[in-house]
């Protein structure tokens, strides 16, 4: 009842102090009236509901339902996840530098970050934490274990670990430190004179990471063209995207404007620093999961005619969020404005309630889109995301592959492979042998996954429809023949789809030995969108 009492006092004061105007239909009166009704409902439920109720849970549910009626990005941040929210925005935390997941017998390391305490202590993916600070990890949920591993930099955490390789049980004391997750996952030359920088997020100091990566490429003396990859980059801090744009355009260039109902949240963002290179040809890679700050970077460079955009249409998130503190260590992330990039267009999808299955912008009728002009007079459009100058579709996968990835089987096989292979070739040269792939097949069929193809699912639906319409008996012989042809066992499917599955396995295995950079280096061999970007840059 403590939270209820606090809410009662706050709500009562708010209602009493609200400046009610003479007209009963004023907005202020309606707000006060609604607060009074909401408080009354909580009071009645607390006193008379048949079962005991937790008022704090009811309030949180009510807040969630209220915000859900607005837009997808206005959300309530309760105290228990405020720390996780801070990690997303700052890209840093105090901890050991590892991802974990729940596993039978304890908590399993799923990935260790290169150079951080977990990595230096020799922890690898597949190692099992059976004790954390003296507590048996068998019954500790992954989210609680994660909080136990975090803490102030300089403080130790005691671990008991069953090692993947060899199975020995070790007692370790790992000292936490400030873990900064770089926004640049990889930077290097992908062709003789073409630099490549993969940007995975826009967190605090992310533009510094990018600047350092670009300067390192310049120091090679070979850099003549640049590819910036923001595919599947969900965005982050607007200022960091503006700073990256500022590396390639004159100081004082307008990058984005925020406009909203409240003047407090309106602002124009211009580049602040002297640029590093205003002439180098740039290509930006995007896809349907490039959102928010990633779209601002790509869209601004497109509008300023400073880069060619390659890939597929971006997500379409052009709404600005402000974080407001509510008290009791809770926060509200509220949509406060819309973004407008240099041409004057807004990247926000016109109807954000109707999207594709992956959440990206759906089809937008031409009649609803408006034309704008880039700096050099090219026509671009609003209505939802950034449309690339050159469309390059990603690799298409079968349902079987999606199912395996959803079940995390490529990752678990990479751990299985890592346990018995001390070393592998460099990511650019590593390939699974025929025997290795057969080993994967035997491993995968022993795991739980739905092996049905899209064809088999559609066939089952067809049969069900025919039965419902009483047509099945007339066609059962023909249907049986079709079923024999499309139904194959899991082993046959995995052999049939080797061409698309093997590269994914090789990328995951390379990550076990060479970290995230190794995964990206292995991806270069099958990245058709990157190949398109390289071809464009080569022709410039």
Q: What average pLDDT score do residues 333-344 get?
A: 91
- CATH number at 92-180: 2.30.42.10
- Number of neighbouring beta carbons within 10 Å of residue 399: 17
On the question of pLDDT at 21 being above 70, the answer is no
Q: What is the pLDDT of residues 263-315, one digit of tens each?
A: 888 899 999 999 999 999 999 999 999 999 999 999 999 999 999 999 999 99
Using the predicted structure, report yes or no on whether residue 15 has a pLDDT greater than 50. no
Give the chain's mean pLDDT: 88
- Indicate whether 9 pLDDT > 60: no
Which residue is it, tokens 């390059």?
392
Q: Where are the domains of the chain?
A: 2-69, 92-180, 184-394, 399-536
Cβ neighbour number for residue 364 with a 10 Å cutoff: 20
Per-residue model confidence (pLDDT) at position 86:
60
Residue 328 near residue 353 (C-beta atoms within 8 A): no
To the query of whether residue 201 is one of the catalytic residues in this protein, the response is no
Tell me which residue of 225, 213, 232, 236 sits closest to 91, measured CA to CA.
Answer: 236
For residue 408, pLDDT beyond 80: yes
CATH topology agreement for domains 92-180 and 184-394: no
pLDDT at 4 over 60: no
Tens digits of per-residue pLDDT, 449-464? Answer: 988 888 888 988 988 9
**Backbone φ and ψ of 236, nearest 5°:** 150, -130
* Residue with more model confidence, 485 or 122: 122
Catalytic, 303? Answer yes
Is the confidence at residue 16, as pLDDT, over 90? no
pLDDT per position as a tens digit, 67-104: 888 888 888 888 777 666 566 556 567 899 999 999 99
Q: What proportion of the chain, given as a percentage, has pLDDT over 90?
A: 60
> 303, 336, 382, 527: which one is catalytic?
303
Q: How wide is the angle at C-alpha 238 spanned by C-alphas 237 and 242, nearest 5°?
A: 125
- Residue 115 exposed, middle or buried by CB count within 10 Å (0-12, 13-18, 19+): exposed
The set of residues, in sequence order, having a beta carbon less than 8 Å from that of 389 and lying 6+ positions away, is: 302, 308, 309, 310
| Residue 77 confidence (pLDDT) | 85
Task: State residue 82's pLDDT score.
Answer: 62
Query: Is residue 198 predicted with pLDDT exceeding 80?
Result: yes
Is 217 exposed, middle or buried (CB count within 10 Å of its CB: 0-12, 13-18, 19+)? buried
Q: Which CATH class is domain 184-394?
A: alpha beta
Which residue out of 146, 182, 292, 412 is catalytically annotated? 292
Instruction: Give pLDDT, residue 25.
Output: 56
Which residue among 160, 211, 317, 493 is the active-site one? 317
Among this protein's residues, is 292 annotated catalytic?
A: yes
């Amino acid at each position: 009842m403590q939270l209820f009492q606090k809410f009662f006092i706050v709500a009562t004061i708010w209602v009493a102090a609200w400046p009610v105007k003479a007209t009963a239909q004023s907005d202020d009166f309606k707000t006060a009236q609604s607060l009074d009704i909401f408080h009354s409902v909580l009071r009645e439920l607390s006193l008379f509901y048949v079962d005991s109720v937790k008022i704090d849970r009811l309030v949180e549910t009510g807040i969630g339902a209220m915000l859900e009626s607005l837009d997808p990005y206005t959300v309530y941040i309760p105290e228990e996840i405020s720390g996780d929210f801070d990690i997303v925005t700052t890209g840093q935390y105090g901890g050991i530098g590892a991802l974990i997941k729940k596993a039978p017998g304890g908590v399993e390391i799923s990935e260790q970050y290169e150079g951080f305490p977990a990595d230096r202590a020799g922890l690898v993916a597949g190692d099992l934490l059976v004790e954390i600070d003296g507590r048996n990890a068998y019954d500790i949920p992954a989210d609680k274990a994660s909080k136990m591993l975090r803490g102030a930099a300089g403080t130790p955490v005691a671990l008991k670990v069953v090692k993947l390789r060899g199975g020995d049980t070790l007692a370790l004391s790992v000292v936490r430190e400030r873990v900064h997750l770089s926004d640049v996952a990889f930077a290097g030359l992908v062709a003789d004179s073409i630099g490549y920088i993969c940007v995975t997020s826009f967190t605090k100091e992310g533009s510094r990471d990018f600047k350092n990566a670009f300067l390192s490429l310049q120091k090679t003396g070979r850099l003549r063209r640049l590819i910036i990859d923001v595919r599947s980059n969900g965005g982050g801090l607007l200022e960091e995207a503006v700073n990256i744009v500022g590396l390639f355009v004159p100081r004082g260039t307008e990058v984005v404007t925020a406009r909203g109902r409240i003047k407090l949240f309106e602002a124009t963002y211009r580049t602040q620093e002297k640029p590093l290179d205003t002439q180098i040809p740039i290509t930006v890679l995007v896809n349907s999961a490039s959102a928010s700050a990633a779209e601002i970077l790509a869209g601004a460079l497109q509008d300023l005619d400073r880069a060619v955009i390659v890939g597929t249409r971006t997500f379409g998130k052009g709404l600005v969020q402000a974080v407001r503190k509510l008290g009791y260590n809770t926060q509200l992330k509220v949509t406060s404005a819309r973004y407008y990039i240099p041409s004057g267009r807004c990247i926000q999808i016109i109807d954000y309630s109707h999207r594709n299955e992956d959440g990206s912008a759906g089809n937008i009728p031409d009649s609803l889109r408006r034309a704008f002009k880039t700096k050099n007079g090219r026509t671009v459009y609003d209505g939802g995301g950034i449309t690339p100058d050159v469309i390059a579709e990603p690799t298409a996968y079968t349902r079987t592959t999606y199912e395996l990835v959803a079940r995390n089987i490529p990752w678990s096989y990479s751990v299985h492979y890592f346990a018995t292979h001390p070393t592998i070739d460099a990511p650019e040269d590593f390939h699974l042998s025929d025997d290795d792939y057969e080993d994967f097949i035997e491993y995968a069929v022993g795991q739980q996954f739905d092996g049905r193809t899209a064809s088999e699912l559609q066939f089952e639906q067809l049969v069900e429809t025919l039965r419902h319409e009483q047509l099945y008996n007339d066609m059962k012989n023909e249907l049986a023949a079709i079923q024999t042809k499309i139904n194959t066992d899991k082993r046959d499917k995995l052999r049939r789809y080797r061409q698309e599955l093997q590269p994914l396995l090789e990328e995951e295995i390379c990550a076990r030995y060479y970290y995230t950079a190794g995964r990206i280096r292995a991806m270069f061999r099958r990245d058709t969108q990157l190949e398109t970007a390289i071809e464009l840059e080569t022709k410039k």
